[in-house]
Amino acid sequence: TANDASTGQQPTATYDSAFLKACRREPVPHTPVWFMRQAGRSLPEYRKVREGIPMLESCMRPELVTEITLQPVRRHNVDAAIYFSDIVVPLKAIGLDLDIKPGIGPVVEQPIRTRADLARLRDLTPEDVPYVTEAIGLLTRELGSTPLIGFAGAPFTLASYLVEGGPSRTYENAKAMMYGDPELWADLLDRLADITAAFLKVQIEAGASAVQLFDSWVGALAPADYVQSVMPASAKVFEAVAGYGVPRIHFGVGTGELLKLMGEAGADVVGVDWRIPLDEAVRRVGPGKALQGNLDPTVLFTDKNTVEAKAQEVLDAAAGLEGHVFNLGHGVMPNTDPDALTRLVEYVHTHSAR
Ligand code: CP3
């Protein structure tokens, strides 16, 4: 089931899935749907298998990763699985002292602040992440024709954690480095681009059918700063995996002013949050790209009729679009009722059937 490194060859049934067809902007039998953070705390079966196991450790156990990745596929009938891991896993794998603290997120013991600190960011090789290769091998066998999405954090979003030392609302240290020491910043992002590209290659060669680059926090930047200080590194990542022919998805939050640029960085599919309707997003992104999104995840805290009305608005805004992958505008929130997600998948499938 592994992809051929030279051709990106997929098993035929996977290649012909609604999800991969939509990514390629081919006609689909129904709009495919999956959810960012579909695996995780919204599912009781997830909370059960994770009991007593720290987050990062759970990412390194292939059988557990396989089980957690499959849970939302079994339960919700989504059109794609997303590999269970975290954006900081490759950084942990090259030896950085970081952890994921419950309810907080990634915390880095010694932040990257100086040129000397860059030496701690060595290249990543497949031998650093044997559990990824093993888990994806198990998963592609279990998934059959359901595609598996691999993912990584984009250089800016990874840098935001590394330079700040943890989650931030303002990114003051990271942005200060970007503005104040552009050479150090460029070298840091270039290092992270190489690590990210290597991590995505491991996933694709093990059998991932698509990849998503999460630049979750890049909406903090003005377009000109994105072009000058971030886009070269993100483009390097996309270029490094272009030869496999698997769809490349690019997502960030609050990126209304960056959508066109994020497409131009090398994405085949541009992820859109809930702040801009998809018919406006397609005008901003321009031709030649599929779009993914964009129901506000908090809509799932309302009643069934409201969820369906808001989901229909998303489908209507995407009606003229070639290539739509239905998703939320950001990840599933932990308190979401999983049954609301199952009903939403059913609704999208039924009301987009052609
Ligand atoms: O189902 C999936 O989407 C796959 C799993 C996945 C996780 N993290 C598992 C996880 C994915 C795709 C990620 C990506 C990720 N991690 C991003 C980009 C996506 C986004 O939301 O914008 C970011 C910014 C991170 C960093 C991170 N890791 C945060 C902010 C948190 C949440 C902290 C918290 O506890 O609220 C984590 C931890 C994390 N990663 C959890 C999960 C399921 C929760 C920890 C747990 O269940 O114990």
CA dist 190 to 152, 154, 183, 193, Å?
15, 11, 10, 5
**Pair of tokens at residue 315:** 């489908």
List of domains in the chain = 12-351 (3.20.20.210)
**Distance (Å, rounded) from C-alpha 98 to C-alpha 75?**
32
DSSP string, 230-253: THHHHHHHHHHTGGG---EEEE-S
Question: Is the Cα dihedral 110, 114, 116, 121 positive or negative?
Answer: positive
The pLDDT of residue 10: 79
- 47 is an active site residue: no
The pLDDT of residue 8: 52
Q: Say if ligand 1 is within 6 A of residue 102 CB.
A: yes
The pLDDT of residue 6: 43
| Active-site residue (options: 50, 61, 284, 343) | 50
- 97 is an active site residue: no
**Distance (Å, rounded) from C-alpha 73 to C-alpha 278?**
25
The pLDDT of residue 9: 63
Half-sphere exposure of residue 218: CA atoms within 13 angstroms, side-chain side? 34
CA distance between the termini of the chain: 30
- 37 is an active site residue: yes
- 15 is an active site residue: no
Residue linked to tokens 């808001």? 310
* pLDDT averaged per 10 residues in sequence order, the chain, 354 residues: 53 95 98 97 98 98 98 98 98 98 96 98 98 98 97 98 97 98 98 98 98 98 98 98 98 98 98 98 97 98 98 97 97 98 98 92
Q: For ligand 1, atom 30, which residue shows the shortest CA distance?
A: 105
- The pTM assigned to this predicted structure is 0.96
Distance of CA 74 from the midpoint of ligand 1 (Å): 20
- 50 is an active site residue: yes
- Going by C-alpha positions, the residue among 151, 144, 154, 138 that lies closest to residue 68 is 138
Q: In degrees to the nearest 10, what's the CA dihedral of 9, 10, 16, 17?
A: -140
Q: Say if ligand 1 is within 6 A of residue 30 CB.
A: no
To test ligand 1's pocket by mutation, which of 48, 51, 86 has the most ligand atoms within 8 angstroms of CB?
86
Buried b (16+ CB within 10 A) or exposed e, 21-34: bbbbbeebebbbbb
To test ligand 1's pocket by mutation, which of 36, 41, 53, 87 has the most ligand atoms within 8 angstroms of CB?
87
Distance of CA 41 from the midpoint of ligand 1 (Å): 10
The pLDDT of residue 144: 95
